[in-house]
Structure formats: C-alpha cells, structure tokens
Amino acid sequence: MRDATLVLRAALPGDVDGIARVARTRGDRLVGLEDRLSAWVRDDERVVVVACRAAETDRGVGDEVVGWSSASRMSGHDDAPDGWYVSSLTVDPAWRRRGAGDRLLAAVVAATSVRSPVLRSIVNATNLPSLDLHAAHAFVEEARGSSFAGITFLGGEGVLLRRQRDDHAAPPAPDVRDMLGA
Ligand SMILES: CC(C)(COP(=O)(O)OP(=O)(O)OC[C@H]1O[C@@H](n2cnc3c(N)ncnc32)[C@H](O)[C@@H]1OP(=O)(O)O)[C@@H](O)C(=O)NCCC(=O)NCCS
C-alpha cells in the first residue's frame, strides 16, 4: 500500500547519518561509509535521493530517512558497458511494501534521464522483489553473468538491466518534479 506521508527529495548533507543507518540494514560492514556518503551528496556528478517520514527530533519536527538510492556514471569495466547505473536502492525493512522503493526508483530514473538516454542497474538474480520493481520501471534484461562492473553475487548469478529513455513518456509524478526543481 502506498504511504502518502512519505516525502521524496534530493539528499542533503544532513541526511548522511540517516542514509548510513538505512544502508547498514543490508548487513554489510561498509567501512568509511559516512565519509563516502558525505562526498556523494555534494557531488554534482551523482544523484542521491531519499524517502523520508515525518519524525520528532531534538529540534522539533523533522524528517527521518527510511530509504535511499543513488546513481552515477561508471566506466572502464571489462564486464559492463560504460554509462549511468542505479546503485544502493534500499528501504528500511520496517518501511517496505509502502511504495518507497517505487518512488525512489522513479526519482532516480527522472533525475538521470536528463543526463543520459540509457540507465542500467545490476541486481542479484535471486532478488525477485528488486527485479519486479525494475521491470515496473521499464528496465529489461540485457545480460546474465557471474560479475558485472566487478560486482559478484551471492548465489553466483547477477542480472544486468537496461532502461532506454522513453522520449514520449508522461511527465514524472509531482513529488519527483518538485525534487528536480522542474
Ligand atoms: C527492493 C526494495 C528496495 C523494494 O522497496 P519497497 O519500498 O518495499 O518497494 P515498494 O513498496 O515500492 O514496491 C514496489 C514493487 O516492488 C516489487 N516488490 C517489492 N517488494 C517485493 C517483495 N517482497 N516481493 C515481491 N515483489 C516485491 C513489487 O513489484 C512492488 O509492487 P507492488 O507493491 O505493486 O506489488 C526493498 O525490498 C529493499 O530495500 N530490499 C533490500 C535491498 C535490495 O535488495 N535493493 C535492491 C538492490 S538492486
């Protein structure tokens, strides 16, 4: 069920701790994560978006990051084409199945489509929720293999997904348009 209280926006430097918390729900060790995220949210060559819920904080009502995603240009890998790739798409387990992942991926698609007609994503072949979500956003399978862009997969197989920009598509949803400042 879609949660209308979730707000989607471009990430700000003050979101780093919230993003790191959500990123760590995936269970990876992620050494140096906060420093990397601080650089990412300030990098004009990278897209970082967050989904937030309203929350009480020490300073009054603020918002709390419950999901995030990123995208950037990758190049120079023998096992994957150069170009823009989605990465880090993650929703806090307590906030899944409420439309946050859908809106995060829509936002990444919209933010990258002004920079490139092609967007790719690399997904573990066993990750059916993520494959379903990407299919709903017009990503199609380009290849299957044991490694893409140096990424290997638990279970052994990954899927390289490719999305071609649709130049006749309807404009993005209002929250995504706001985020893009359009
Ligand atoms: C994949 C992930 C981001 C989805 O986030 P989410 O907020 O739960 O997704 P949404 O509620 O927006 O769901 C959108 C669509 O994704 C698919 N989906 C999401 N969770 C699913 C699940 N558990 N089983 C099957 N399909 C699922 C469905 O197609 C769903 O549409 P529907 O609700 O109309 O059926 C989330 O499960 C997650 O963070 N997983 C761990 C990290 C990860 O695997 N990231 C992807 C790496 S490539």
Each residue of 135-177: pLDDT tens digit? Answer: 999 999 999 999 999 999 999 999 999 999 988 887 777 777 7
Nearest CA-CA partner of 49 in 129, 6, 113, 105: 105
Q: Interhelix angle for 100-113 vs 128-136, to 10°?
A: 50
pTM score, two decimals?
A: 0.94
Instruction: List, in order of start, the domains of the chain with CATH numbers.
Output: 7-180 (3.40.630.30)
Answer whether 100 contacts ligand 1 (Cβ < 6 A). yes
43 vs 168, higher pLDDT: 43
The residues, any chain, with a CB within 8 Å of residue 119's CB and separated by 6 or more, are 71, 83, 84, 85, 86, 108, 109, 112, 113, 139, 162, 163, 165
The residue whose two tokens read 């990444």 is 108
- Judge if the beta carbon of residue 136 lies within 6 A of ligand 1: yes
For residue 55 and ligand 1, the question of a CB distance below 6 A is answered with: no
- What percentage of the chain reaches a pLDDT higher than 70? 97
CA atoms 104, 109, 114, 120: torsion sign = positive
DSSP assignment letter at 80: S
Which whole-number Å values give the CA distances from 82 to 2, 79, 135, in the listed order?
A: 34, 10, 21
At residue 182, the pLDDT reads 56
pLDDT digits (tens, 9 = 90+) for 48-62: 999 999 887 777 777
